[in-house]
A = this chain, B = another copy of it.
């Protein structure tokens, strides 16, 4: 871990570097890939995990702390930011990087997923989605064109095509109809996207758990052409087995020379299994959301710090973790913070969880580069199987 904390970014740090958007494949270990994404605001070593900064902040963390964990890219949510403070406002204030003081790469989702899960009174047509804001009840419309426009105003390095996240379960005709509309929206997204040096647009593969649909979706997207390809419609309740079996027939059909992003995933073992199946990028609210709820991710599995067994435990959460929560505090103190509902509890545990996810990704990257990903995976599962240290 590097010692500094707060990023001391100066104005010029928020400007595009002038580099082209690119993906470099550095190493393969069977399906697993070690790569590097270059964007207008810096590079991202893959496989990478992107902490989620929904409303322009990775919850309960300073951007400098996020960077200190090793994270190189964060995700912003188009749906949240378009409603509050508004994309025009963010643009007036110099873009999302400057607004949230994150000089590194930012990926924004298209708003399609959140509008379905959070907004009220949504109505989907071929044109797009009309909905009422969960913030103030105002009416809004998201279309491929407006989503591209919003993401351009946010200045995200990686823009996601506007799609419909097919609900799960969906029968074949439903999944097919949904996927086909998403492919038409993908083409409209590509047309509406303003090409800028260092900025990329990712298409999103849909098709639920059906091999033929996933393959048709990939074909449709590669015909259009994108700077990266995401797998959408997973991590929506189908379970790990079905997620992995879907990836088993999906990723091999995806372009090898472009980054692959599994949206909204996931738990540490989901990530390890998806990397094994050829995924390069991940995002999930789990590390921060769990951190706010006293749930810690460690190499030994999950630990609930509200549990009374920690109340007198002078040991760190994980003696090998260099994050402040583990380095400077006892389990007893973390337990106390959550019992007393002190904000420092969520602050420290969000930091730890994001740090753990980044340590996991760093271990994954090293293992792929060294051609020992299978050993890494076995050790990962073995350490977790041992469980947390016994109570004192």
Contact = CB atoms under 8 A, between A and B. Distances in A.
A181 B275 CA distance: 71
A93 B340 contact: no
Interface of A: 3-9, 55-57, 59-64, 80, 84-85, 89, 92-94, 99-101, 311-312, 314, 324, 327-330, 332-333, 335-337, 339-340, 342-344, 346-347
A282 B347 CA distance: 27
Interface of A is mostly: loop
B59 A340 contact: no
Given A5-B4, A99-B333, A324-B62, A57 B93 contact: no
B85 A55 contact: no
B344 A60 contact: yes
Contact of A62 (B63, B94, B332, B347): B347
Contacts of A342: 55-57, 59
A330 B7 contact: no
B89 A324 contact: no
B336 A56 contact: yes
B93 A314 contact: yes
Nearest to A58: B344
Nearest to A56: B336
Given A61-B344, A344-B59, A344-B62, A336 B101 contact: no
A57 B344 contact: yes
B55 A340 contact: yes
Contacts of A347: 60, 62, 343, 347
A204 B63 CA distance: 44
8 contacts: A3-B4, A5-B64, A9-B328, A56-B336, A89-B312, A92-B314, A93-B333, A99-B330
Contact of A330 (B62, B93, B346): B93
A62 B7 CA distance: 16
Contact of A343 (B6, B59, B311, B324): B59
A28 B84 CA distance: 53
Contacts of A93: 312, 314, 330, 332-333
A4 B7 contact: no
Nearest to A341: B55
Given A61-B344, A344-B60, A85 B4 contact: no
Contacts of A92: 312, 314
Given A55-B340, A94-B314, 18 more contacts: A4-B4, A5-B6, A6-B324, A55-B336, A56-B337, A60-B344, A62-B324, A62-B344, A63-B328, A64-B324, A84-B340, A85-B311, A93-B312, A93-B330, A99-B336, A100-B333, A101-B328, A347-B347
